[in-house]
């Protein structure tokens, strides 16, 4: 089991260096960061680093840290015919490393090397990734869509993929116009269970922060709104602020007045994800608002940050690595049986209760 873990990290590091376009002598992640990303012991990480150092992928300098070596940085992503293409919006942080590791572990066991591309949630980069992978003759694709709630110019590319008989599985979300199957957490249920919990704790003045440019934001809002209606609150839409996904870290600065106005009329706030909830915790701290005494905060995804922040977050658990494994398993079934009719796979989220909510 330990061998499997350290070899998965070796492959992950090679893809990370290529996907992030790291150059020779660029500083690499620390042992501690790798342990946190992969949730493994330091001994397992050191095994992986020894292997990577022997392969001239990284080099370690005593007292200075770990750096990218020349060999891997100069090498392109693996593009041999027969690869499976994996396209993710992000890679290096939050829940994404766990999902990609889950995908890679299943495909490695099946003897399918992966070609990885990162879009940074930009449709133009999704276009480039799809064209590159099609040119390299991928046998299958696992894709996280970019800006999945907005009009997308790649419909013709996806039609080409379908007509070519290349199996494709979406993960985390899917385009509404696409009939390819997807694997995701049930985002509507996630929005509903965190909001239900706030009502159960006596809150009735509940507001929300959601993103408008991906389907996860829409579905999580739907769960929030369904919970509000079920509890007799018909004005939920009046207590919501909407943002573009890439503005999440900046909005607390440029939209300070609107957020303060929202909090003045709220005892609790539902955030689209944990990253937005962490931003809310900092915003409250900077503006003299006590969490949870003045306002309760909930997130969604149960990222690694949710449990270790100043005020541990109540959140809905995202299946992380298991979701990645399920996406890869679904793709392999489709590759083995092209005519197989597949349905969407939705994981039921579980509520994780911590310290960011108080009873009213």
Encode pLDDT of 70-113 as tens digits.
Answer: 655 544 444 333 589 999 998 877 888 899 999 999 998 888 88
203 Rama class: left (phi>0) / alpha (psi -120 to 50) / beta = beta
Confidence at residue 2, expressed as pLDDT on a 0 to 100 scale: 43
Other CB atoms within 10 A of residue 301 CB: 27
Q: Which residue has the higher pLDDT, 314 or 74?
A: 314
Selection from 193, 161, 203, 199 nearest residue 178 by Cα: 161
Q: Which of 68-77, 136-145, 179-188 is the least confident region?
A: 68-77
Is 167 a residue whose pLDDT tops 70?
yes
- pTM for this entry: 0.81
Q: Which of 14-18, 165-169, 354-358 is the least confident region?
A: 14-18
Region 216-229: mean pLDDT is 98
Confidence at residue 128, expressed as pLDDT on a 0 to 100 scale: 92
Q: Do 84-184+321-347 and 2-74 fall under one CATH topology? A: no
Q: Which residue has the higher pLDDT, 111 or 346?
A: 346
CB 181 within 8 A of CB 342: yes
Selection from 223, 230, 232, 2 nearest residue 240 by Cα: 223
Q: Which CATH architecture has domain 2-74?
A: Orthogonal Bundle (1.10)
127 Cβ contact partners less than 8 Å away, ≥ 6 residues apart: 153, 154, 157
Region 286-315: mean pLDDT is 96
CB 255 within 8 A of CB 222: no
Domain boundaries of the chain, sorted by first residue: 2-74, 84-184+321-347, 187-318
pLDDT tens digits, one per residue of 10-56:
877 887 887 777 888 888 988 888 887 777 788 888 888 888 888 88
108 Cβ contact partners less than 8 Å away, ≥ 6 residues apart: 7, 8, 11
- What would the 3-class secondary structure string for the chain be? CHHHHHHHHHHHHHHHHHHCCCCCCCECCCHHHHHHHHCCCHHHHHHHHHHHHHCCCEEEECCCEEEECHHHHHCCCCCCCCCEEEEECCCCCCCHHHHHHHHHHHHHHCCCCEEEEECCCCHHHHHHHHHHHHHCCCCEEEECCCCCCCCCCCHHHHHHHHHCCCCEEEECCCCCCCCCCEEEECHHHHHHHHHHHHHHCCCCCEEEEEECCCHHHHHHHHHHHHHHHHCCCCCHHHHEEEECHHHCCCHHHHCHHHHHHHHHCCCEEEECCHHHHHHHHHHHHHCCCCCCCCCEEECCECCHHHHHCCCCCEEEECCCHHHHHHHHHHHHHHHHCCCCCCCCEEECCEEECCCCCCCC
What sign for the dihedral angle of Cα 22, 99, 220, 203? Answer: negative
**Cα 355 from chain centre:** 23
Longest dimension (CA), the chain: 63
State the pLDDT confidence band at 220, using cuts at 50, 70 and 90: very high
Instruction: Please list, residue by residue across 131-162, b when 16 or more beta carbons sit within 10 angstroms of its beta carbon and e when fewer do.
Output: ebbbebebebbbbbbbbbbeebebeeebeebe
CATH (residue range 187-318)? 3.40.50.2300
CATH of 84-184+321-347, one of 3.40.50.2300, 3.90.180.10, 3.40.190.80, 2.40.50.140: 3.40.50.2300
């Amino acid at each position: 089991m330990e061998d499997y873990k350290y070899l998965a990290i070796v492959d992950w590091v090679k893809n990370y260096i290529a996907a992030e376009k790291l150059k020779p002598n660029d500083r690499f992640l620390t042992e501690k960061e790798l342990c946190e990303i992969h949730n493994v012991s330091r001994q397992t990480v050191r095994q992986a680093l020894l292997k990577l150092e022997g392969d001239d992928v990284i080099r370690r300098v005593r007292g200075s840290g770990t750096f990218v070596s020349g060999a891997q940085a100069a090498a392109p992503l693996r593009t041999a015919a027969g690869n499976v293409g994996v396209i993710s919006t992000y890679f290096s942080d939050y829940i994404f490393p766990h999902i990609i590791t889950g995908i890679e572990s299943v495909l490695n066991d099946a003897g399918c090397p992966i070609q990885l591309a990162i879009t940074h949630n930009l449709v133009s980069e999704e276009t480039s990734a799809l064209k590159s992978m099609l040119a390299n003759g991928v046998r299958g694709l696992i894709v996280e869509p970019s800006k999945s709630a907005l009009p997308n110019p790649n419909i013709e590319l996806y039609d080409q993929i379908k007509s070519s008989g290349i199996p494709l599985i979406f993960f985390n979300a899917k385009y509404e116009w696409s009939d390819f199957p997807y694997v995701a957490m049930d985002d509507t249920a996630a929005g509903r269970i965190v909001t239900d919990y706030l009502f159960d704790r006596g809150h009735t003045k509940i507001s929300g922060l959601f993103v408008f440019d991906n389907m996860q934001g829409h579905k999580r809002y739907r769960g929030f709104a369904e919970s509000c209606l079920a509890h007799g609150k018909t004005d939920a839409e009046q207590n919501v602020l909407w943002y573009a996904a890439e503005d999440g870290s900046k909005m607390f600065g440029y939209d300070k007045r609107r957020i303060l106005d929202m909090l003045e009329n709220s005892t609790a706030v539902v955030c689209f994800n944990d990253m937005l909830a962490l931003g809310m915790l900092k915003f409250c701290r900077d503006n003299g608002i006590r969490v949870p005494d003045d306002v309760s905060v909930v997130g969604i995804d149960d990222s690694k940050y949710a449990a270790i922040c100043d005020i541990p977050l109540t959140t809905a658990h995202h299946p992380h690595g298991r979701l990645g494994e399920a996406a890869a398993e679904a793709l392999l079934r489709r590759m083995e049986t092209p005519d197989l009719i597949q349905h969407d796979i939705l994981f039921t989220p579980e509520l994780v209760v911590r310290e960011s909510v108080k009873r009213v």
